[in-house]
Amino acid sequence: MDKIISTAKFLKGEISIPGDKSISHRAVMIGAISDGVTEITGFLKAADPLSTISCFNSLGIEHKFENEKLFIYGKDLKGLRRSATTLDAGNSGTTIRLMSGILAGLNFSTIISGDQYLIKRPMKRIIDPLVKMGADISSTEKFTAPLSIKPVETLNAIDYELPIASAQVKSAVLFAGLYANGTTRVIEHEPSRDHTERMLNLTPEKSSGKSIISITGGMKLEAKQFVVPSDPSSAAFFIVAALIVPNSEIKIINVGMNPTRIGFIKVLKQFGANIILENERTIGGEPLADIIVKSSVLKSNCILNGNLIPNIIDEIPILSIAAANAIGKFEVRDAQDLRNKETDRIAAICFNLRKMGLDVEEYKDGFAFESKKDLLSSGFESFDDHRIAMAFGIGSLALNGQSTIINSECVSISFPSFWKIVNTLQK
């Protein structure tokens, strides 16, 4: 399905964004290996987190949706049972990578795979540390899915220094650490998303500029209640929309303000964005706030690189739209991991920005361009990537004339109600 988008005269209103995808995944996983019934409020009913539920269903875990809540009937660390079929992670890299840490510690064999896009994504980053712990994991020659995980007598605790900041690798190792003998330590040189630590009540230690997260094997997990805040990565699209469409003012309520997730807000404020945080509070260990955004004149002369990139990696597509509607030059470097997402996002961003009429330089680890006034409406390729579809859908609101997002239905991976909210804000 293609989506036709016309120029927006303004965007007004108060909106609620669906639940955080990263936290939704983890709540299901932790609930499945906990003792008792875990209650999740605000779970994101999108394709990726639903893939996580489906995988655990195949492993013998039951769930129930009731009155906007999700209940996971956990069976403790060792209560999962062998699946009769290959686990299907769909399009979800989070599902396959984090679950591999759990599957490595179980006493039966499992095969986990995914769709035609997921089986092209790199898995070596999680295979290497899990094998160091003694896990028996095999993959394709290119270190891609399907992953075959066989039981071992025991997993061994290790100290693992992350080569690059990665919440998925960190989480996979921490989950495997629950099944290992001794205390597993993950050492971070640069911060990455810390939802797993927060949800497992792990307190990082700081030493010589590093963060050390420790977990002890056999630690019993008790069922609990999780409240999932609105996803800041999803909110980013509407924050930028309000900034670039004239005469706009919107309020987004209950958005997660985890410090490892809101680097994009700092970047936009450097651009001169009028963004105000209200009603700041903490629920279930996660900070939240309401966000008020007004149209702004943006100036983008900056280079995004280095330590900032892991914090904004998912928001780079929509930040490129903000920069295209700003004044000045914009450059992204050190973001080569964008090429390993649902699609090659560096190539996808550059392709569509050129369709807008921008001269874009593409690098192995990023891209650069200088904005200009008269951007062109066009047919933009989604590349079946939800973040590319949403970013250029938002960008189309500020273009003159009609634009088309090709295969726009891929937004259902993370944000099924996206196009509906876009329409609502224009009324």
Joined together, the tokens standing for residue 294 give 């007004």
Which alpha helices (DSSP H) does 79-155 contain, by range?
A: 93-103, 124-132
Nearest-angstrom CA–CA distance, 290 and 309: 25
Amino acid at 295: S
CA distances from 313 to 35, 49, 52, 266, 427 (A): 35, 19, 22, 14, 32
Residue 106, SS3? coil
Residue 320, SS3? helix
Closest CA to 5 of 398, 387, 358: 398
Asked whether the beta carbons of 94 and 48 are under 8 A apart, the reply is: yes
Residues serving a catalytic function are 314
Residue 352, SS3? helix
Beta pairing, strands 403-406 & 329-332: unpaired
Count, residues in the chain: 427
Q: What are phi and psi of 384, to 5 degrees?
A: 55, 30
Amino acid at 186: V
Residue 129, SS3? helix
H or E element, residue 251? strand 249-256
Asked whether the beta carbons of 304 and 333 are under 8 A apart, the reply is: yes
Q: What are phi and psi of 402, to 5 degrees?
A: -90, 140
The residue assigned the tokens 């999962």 is 80
The contacts of residue 196 (CB under 8 Å, 6+ apart) are: 26, 167, 170, 171, 174, 175, 202
